[in-house]
Structure 1
Amino acid sequence: MDSIKSKIKRRLQTFIELDVNGLRTHILSVFLQVQKTTVDELHQSINSKFEISRSAVASMVGYIYSKLGILRSYKESYKTPIVYSLKEEYADLLRTELESKNGQVTGI
């Protein structure tokens, strides 16, 4: 189990290091602060700070979900949007990595 966490930690560090405009850390900090969110809700909260398309937000959430593995998804029915939430076991790891980059967790 530790090897999985260490791989995720390395991927998360690389993901954060490649953040040139603060968008990636902002999205990750939103997941730390909210219990669950959809792509549309996330886009609305990010759009006030960054000019970004909904599809770009969806793409980044999909990357975080599939490659980093720190999110879980849930879809109640085929008509409802997918709800994403941060896995509890990675909350401390994410908080630590964001703090080490910024000195503190960025707010919404």
Structure 2
Amino acid sequence: MNALRHKIKQRLEKYLEMDKSGIRSHLIKTVLKLRKFTVDKVHRILSRKFPVSRNMVASMVGYIYSKLGILRARKDSYKTSTVYYVKEEYLDIITAALKG
């Protein structure tokens, strides 16, 4: 495993380790299942099971995007929502972290 993949795996495992309520792991599972999503879509899914605000979800997605590095973001226009994509090269790491 190269250094970048190893660092991402460690960060993801630490992120999930700090999960007391199950929101983070549910978020990662949802993101993995959807592969392409917006904050609003994930908020609708998470709010069925957890008392989360849109800002909480946006913050978690932003953290995953910027610190964990397992997402890509695309914004076509200033009027549209940002669409996030799971980076295909990290699917195995994400799956392993959720199982571990």
Amino acid at match of 1:48: R
**Partner residue, 1:2:** 2
Q: Which residue in 2 is equivalent to 1:33?
A: 33
Corresponding position: 1:20 with 2:20? yes
In structure 1, what is the equivalent of residue 43 of structure 2? Answer: 43
Q: Does the alignment pair 1:69 with 2:66?
A: no
Alpha-carbon distance between aligned partners in 1 of 2:97 and 2:56, rounded to the nearest angstrom: 23
Partner of 1:53: 53
Distance (whole Å) between structure 2 residues aligned to residue 91 and residue 35 of structure 1: 10
Q: Secondary structure at the match of 1:19?
A: coil
Using the size of structure 1 for normalisation, the TM-score is 0.90
Structure 1 moving runs of 4+ over 6 Å: none
Residue of structure 1 equivalent to 2:95? 95
| Offset of residue 85 of structure 1 | 1.2
Listed as ranges, the gaps of 5+ residues in structure 2 are none
Q: Which runs of 5+ in 1 are unaligned?
A: 101-108
SS state at 2:51 partner: coil
SS at match of 1:89: helix
Letter in 2 for 1:77: S
SS in 2 for 1:50: coil
Does the residue aligned with 1:14 lie in a helix, a strand or coil?
helix
CA positional deviation for 1:35 = 2.6
Aligned length, in residue pairs: 100
Q: Secondary structure at the match of 1:84?
A: strand
Q: Name the SS for the 1:64 alignment partner.
A: helix
**CA RMSD, Structure 1 to Structure 2 (Å):** 1.0
- Letter paired with 1:25: S
Q: Distance in 2 between matches of 1:90 and 1:46?
A: 23
